[in-house]
Chain A
Amino acid sequence: MTDKNPDMPMDDDSSAFEMQLSQQAESLLAHVQKGDFAGAVQVIAELNETRDKTLYHEVGRLTRSLHDSIRNFNIDAGTKAQREEMSKIADASDRLAYVVEMTSKAANKTLDLVEEAMPIASSLKSEAHELKKEWEKLRRKELTPDEFRALYKRIDVFLSDLEGKSDQVYGYLSDILMAQDFQDLTGQVIQKVTDLVRQVEDNLVKLVAMAGKVDRITGIQHDLEEQEHDESAGHGPQMNTEKRDDVVSGQDDVDDLLSSLGF
Chain B
Amino acid sequence: MKILVVDDFSTMRRIIKNLLRDLGFTNVEEADDGNTALPMLKTGKFDFLITDWNMPGMTGIDLLKSVRADDNLKTLPVLMVTAEAKRDQIVAAAQAGVNGYVVKPFTAAVLKEKIEKIFERIG
Q: How large is the interface on A (under 10, 10 to 19, 20 to 34, 35 or more residues)?
A: 20 to 34
One of B15, B61, B87, B106 near A247 (C-beta < 8 A):
B87
Q: Smallest Cβ distance from B96 to chain A, in angstroms?
A: 10
Q: Which residues of B contact A (CB under 8 A)?
A: 9-11, 14-15, 18, 53-55, 59-62, 82-92, 94, 101-104, 106, 110
Give the complex CA separation of A108 and B15 in angstroms.
10
Closest chain A residue to B93 by CB distance? A258
Instruction: Return the CB mask of A230-248 against B: 1 if under 8 Å, else 0.
Output: 0111111110010001111
Give the complex CA separation of A257 and B59 in angstroms.
22
Judge whether A248 and B90 touch: CB under 8 Å.
yes
Neighbouring A residues of B91 by C-beta, 8 Å: 257, 261
Judge whether B94 and A263 touch: CB under 8 Å.
yes
Give the complex CA separation of A258 and B103 in angstroms.
12
Neighbouring A residues of B92 by C-beta, 8 Å: 231
A254 at the interface (CB under 8 A from B): yes
Closest chain A residue to B92 by CB distance? A231
Judge whether A254 and B103 touch: CB under 8 Å.
yes
Give the complex CA separation of A40 and B97 in angstroms.
73
Judge whether B94 and A261 touch: CB under 8 Å.
yes
Near B by CB (< 8 A), chain A positions 204-249 give 231-238, 241, 245-249
- Known contacts A108-B14, A234-B82, A250-B103, then 13 further A-B pairs from the complex at CB < 8 Å, ordered by chain A residue: A108-B11, A111-B11, A111-B18, A231-B92, A233-B59, A234-B55, A237-B83, A238-B86, A251-B110, A254-B102, A257-B87, A257-B91, A258-B101
A26 at the interface (CB under 8 A from B): no
One of B53, B86, B106 near A251 (C-beta < 8 A):
B106
